[in-house]
Amino acid sequence: MTVVTRFAPSPTGRLHVGNIRTALHNFLFSRKHGGRFLLRIDDTDLERSREEYVEAIVDDLSWLGLKTDAMVRQSERFALYEREFERLKTAGRVYACYETPEELELRRKVLLGRGLPPVYERKAEGSPVPEDVAPHWRFKLDHDHPIEWDDLIRGHQKFDPKLISDPVIRRADGSWLYLLPSVIDDIDLEITNIVRGEDHVSNSAVQLQMFAALGAEPPKLAHEALLVAAEGKLSKRLGSYGAEHLREEGVEPMALLSLLARIGTSEPVEAVPSLDGLAATFDFAHFGRAPAHFDPHDVELLNAKLLHHLDHKDVSDRLPDGVGEEEWLVLRGNLGHLAEAAEWIPVLSGEIDAAEVVQDDKPLLDEAARLATSLDWSDDPWHALTDQLKASSGRKGRALFRPLRLAITGRESGPEMAPLVRLIGKERTVQRLQKSALA
């Protein structure tokens, strides 16, 4: 089994959430079935396909963990395309056209005005050829054979080729549109499965006739429902929300991938720490045809849930000095992003400003400092301290715990205090209590 994901390098740069989702589904399908995952760079437009754009695609896939088994560039395969193009010309499945874009648009409007489908009208055999005009080239669809296939997501699909325009496959300047080169690549690379968005269904119908014209068995196709914004309509912001933005925000790749693997399916959306875990349950039978609603806020929620369960070994190479395994286990349940761990280093082992507490809380903190001095710090100093303060002050709940947390950590909220106080240590805890009592 071999599956392929394709990207066209462009100045827009990094991968956005929509094409990440398609690449992920191709990857998971190949991983589950022990197949190969290929990356095809559609760089036939040499002016737009600069090397830095290709490098950006590869870099994003690497950051996401979507490791490819091979990368193929269409710009290195022009000889193959030319050969197969000539085969189709000889077989009468490719023909030259001379209309200008303006002429085509005018004819399209005329057909629509008559209530007819705006399908390209083939010229009769022997029609005059304009002089000094370079042709563009179209693939000639076989109108006598309906196009049918069983889609892995959409079920049985059927198209009447008479209602589809013969597609342009090559421009007048000799450059390629992606339809025919992609088919030639799929045949040559022995691609067995392709996952695409449902906006490519009609393109797939056309390409199936290209496979037949070249005498090849087509891959199995899966067209997934489009990704839409949470409010229910297509959102332009999804086009810019992707790898580059997420990396800048410090989001874990698996948080995004966990969401994109499951939304639009019958599987529960949950934080899964590994691609193998996602691949294990990946099944096109779970996919629905309704649009998949994407909300960036869900990525943030999954990111926090993922961090809360990651072991120290999973993040040790990305943690700052001062956050070892013990510190990580205390902090992880309170983090939304990994970078937030660094913000706790001053609390654990540095200096913090004295907390501003109300006058009524200062006697409590003074008493807490006195009691903490005599506690055995090797056991459970936090509960020993709060138990004694409950008895001596009569306070409990928020009235007791809030001023203590503020004085010791400088924060209104955070990790559980019992393990946190042990990490902060006796001397630092006592000093902070005294400092806040005197502030």
Q: Which residues are annotated as a binding site?
A: 236
Question: What is Dmax (Cα atoms) for the chain?
Answer: 106
Task: Map the chain to HEC letters.
Answer: CEEEEEECCCCCCCCEHHHHHHHHHHHHHHHHCCCEEEEEECCCCCCCCCHHHHHHHHHHHHHHCCCCCEEEEHHHCHHHHHHHHHHHHHCCCEEEECCCHHHHHHHHHHHHHCCCCCCCCCCCCCCCCCCCCCCEEEECCCCCCCEEEEECCCEEEEECHHHCCCCEEECCCCCECCHHHHHHHHHHCCCCEEEEEHHHHHHHHHHHHHHHHCCCCCCEEEEECCEEECCCCCCHHHHCCEHHHHHHHCCCHHHHHHHHHHCCECCCCCCCCCHHHHHHCCCHHHECCCCEEECHHHHHHHHHHHHHHCCHHHHHHHCCCCCCHHHHHHHHHHCCCHHHHHHHHHHHHCCCCCCCCCHHHHHHHHHHHHHHHCCCCCCCHHHHHHHHHHHHHCCCCHHHHHHHHHHHHCCCCCCCHHHHHHHHCHHHHHHHHHHHHHC
The answer to whether 12 and 245 are in contact (CB under 8 A) is: no
- List, as residue ranges, the binding site for ATP: 236
